[in-house]
Amino acid sequence: MSDQAPETPAPSIAYQNWLKRQGIERRKIQIGRLLLLIGFLAIWEVAPRAGLVNPMLTSYPSAVWRGFFELVAQGNLAMHIGVTLLEVLISFAIAMALGTLIAVVLWLSPMLERILDPFLVVLNALPKIALVPIFYIWLGPMGSIYAVAIAVALFITILMLYTGFSQTDPNKIKLARTLGATRRQILGKVVLPGNLHTFMATLKANVGLSLVGVIVGEFQASKAGLGYLIVYGSQIFRMDMVMAAIVILGLISVAIYLLIQSTERLFRR
C-alpha cells in the first residue's frame, strides 16, 4: 500500500472563473465606496469655499483637519477619546450581559415573557433622551452617562435576542425533547449555539446604540469626552472642532464594528 496522501483534485475551470468574478465584484464595491467618499469630501470642501453654504455652519475638511491637529497640540485629545471609549465599552458590555441574561430568563419562563412583553415594547419605544435629567438627579454626572447608554441599548438587546431564541428551528427543539432534554439543556445545546448570528447582529447594533447613549449623556453632564468637545465647540462657534470630534466618533464606531466582524468570522470557522 502507498503511504502517499491522495492528491486533491484541481479546481475546475468554472470554479476558477467564479472566483475571478467574485474578486472583480469585490474590487468594484471597494472602488465604488472610495469614489463615494472622495466625492462627498470634495463637495463638502468646495461648497463652503464657493459660498454655496455658510462655512460657519458646516466647516470643511481642510479646516476639520487643522482643528484635529489643534486638539492634538493642546495635549488633551487622547484623554477625551479615552474617556468616551471607556464609557462606551463599559456600557456596551453591561447592556449585552444584562440583556442576554434577561432574554434567557424570558425564554425559560414563557409566562413571565407574556407578562413583561408590553412593558418591554413600551420601554424600548420610549425616547431615552427624556430620561437624561432624571438619571442626572438620581445618579449624578458620571452615573447618568452610563445609565443613559445602558438604557438605550438594553431593551433592543432583550427584544432581538428573545426573538432569535423563539425562532430557533422547532424541529431541533422537538428532537431534543424526544431525547429527554430539559428546557435548560435545550437552551444550552440548541438555542444558544443556534443563535450565533443573532448575537453578532445584536453586538453590531449595540455598538452604535451605546455610542449614542454615551454622547447624549456627555452632552448633559460630562466635563470630558468627545460629547463634551462637541458641546464646547458649538458654544464657541468652532465647527471645525465639532466636526473633528464627530469624525473621531465615526472612526471609533468603524473600529469596534470591524473588531466584532473579525470575531464573527472567527466563531463561524
The Cα 219–Cα 73 span in angstroms is 24
- Separation in Å, CA 261 to CA 194, 209, 255, 266: 18, 17, 10, 9
CB-facing half-sphere around the CA of 184: CA atoms within 13 A: 0
* CA 192 centroid distance within chain: 21
3: helix, strand or coil = coil
**How high is the mean pLDDT in each 10-residue block of the chain (269 residues)?**
58 81 90 92 86 78 81 82 88 91 89 86 81 82 85 88 86 85 83 84 84 84 81 80 86 84 76
Contact 93, 149 (CB under 8 A): no
Q: What are phi and psi of 9, to 5 degrees?
A: -65, 145
Residues 6+ apart with CB under 8 A from 221: 132, 136, 140, 141, 142, 144, 145
Give me the pLDDT at residue 6, please: 57
The residue length of the chain stands at 269
Contact 229, 80 (CB under 8 A): yes
The Cα 39–Cα 45 span in angstroms is 10
DSSP state of 189: I
Contact 228, 159 (CB under 8 A): no
- Separation in Å, CA 142 to CA 149, 209, 217, 221, 256: 11, 18, 9, 7, 23
**Residue 199's CB: how many other CB atoms inside 10 A?**
18
One DSSP character per residue, 128-188 reads GGGGHHHHHHHHHHHHHHHHHHHHHHHHHHHHHHHHHHHTS-HHHHHHHHHTT--HHHHII
Give me the pLDDT at residue 35, please: 94
Give me the pLDDT at residue 217, please: 83
Give me the pLDDT at residue 121, please: 84
